[in-house]
Amino acid sequence: MKGTIFDIKQLAVFDGPGIRTTVFLKGCPLRCMWCHNPEGLISRPQLMRSTNGCMQCGRCQELLKHPAKAVEHPELLRVCPKNLFHISGQQLTVEELVAQLRLDEEYLKLVGGGITFSGGEPLAQADFLEACLKELSDMNLCIETSGYAMREDFEKIVELLDFVVMDLKMIDDVKHRYYTGVSNKRILSNLEYLKASGKPFVIRVPLIPGVNDTVENMVATAKLLQGTTNLQRVELLPYHRTAGVKYKMLGNVYAPRFDENREVRIDTEVFEKRGVTCRSL
């Protein structure tokens, strides 16, 4: 069995308890207008091109016409004298990835950290993820997830974890469909399971100006989480205008249908009033 990853980040401090190694799995069923990791949306490896330092020599024109060929033959990337091309995504077996992650095992256990699987959406590769988690069962394990997954997959993965970080973008389903491309019914259903599971978890709300930073959405979110004993806290993540940088590298256009120059409204008090610990990152 092989999975497709697009990054492994060591010494991560915001991806679960302690210092962690974070694995980013490619592929995501959502199409959030504000996505900061567009290279994680498609499950297959992709050609990426940095424009910084480009000399406009024209040697890459044939490469740009046939990006799939470059993915299959990475030696073709050497045509660029400035090394501005790279392949985002590599396929690894469970054994290969686990062996790589265990290189830092002693240190991660010493500092009370562990392994986090992120994305993309890690549950989009649920079978591969499950196999990796079982091989790493002696370590502290976490996922960062949108919560959008089949209930069967969500349950079997949560059962293998020590900690969960889950996004909760907005409660109104019509708006959720418009801004992310999918209904939130599956997400909210899985959230109810997580709340009842006893697993410690954090909810993250990416605050998008004029989209989900409204009083109505914050109140609805706080009410949904009120009284949840295994919820450690809510983390509010204000939108950053650097979101669109990577789209050009993939040959895509970043064109969100919201005013990204509008000031983001941050309100932790609406959660604290309801007994939900909340902080802004």
Per-residue pLDDT tens for 247-263? 989 989 999 999 999 99
More confident position, 50 or 20? 20
Mean pLDDT of the chain, nearest integer:
95
Mean pLDDT of the region 260-276: 96
pLDDT per position as a tens digit, 124-170: 999 999 999 999 999 999 999 999 999 999 999 999 999 999 999 99
Mean pLDDT of the region 96-101: 98
* pLDDT score at 251: 87
Among residues 169, 102, 176, the alpha carbon closest in space to that of 137 is found at 102
CA 155/CA 36 separation, integer angstroms: 27
pTM: 0.94
* pLDDT score at 52: 85
Do the beta carbons of residue 180 and residue 138 sit within 8 Å? no
Distances (CA, A) of 276 to 170, 203, 222, 227, 234: 17, 11, 7, 8, 7
* pLDDT score at 167: 98
pLDDT at 21 over 80: yes
pLDDT at 243 over 90: no
Residue 173 — very low, low, confident or very high, per pLDDT cuts 50/70/90?
Answer: very high
CA 234/CA 131 separation, integer angstroms: 29
Q: Compute and round to an integer the Cα radius of gyration of the chain.
A: 20
* pLDDT score at 53: 87
Among residues 32, 27, 30, the alpha carbon closest in space to that of 44 is found at 27
pLDDT at 19 over 90: yes
pLDDT at 64 over 90: no
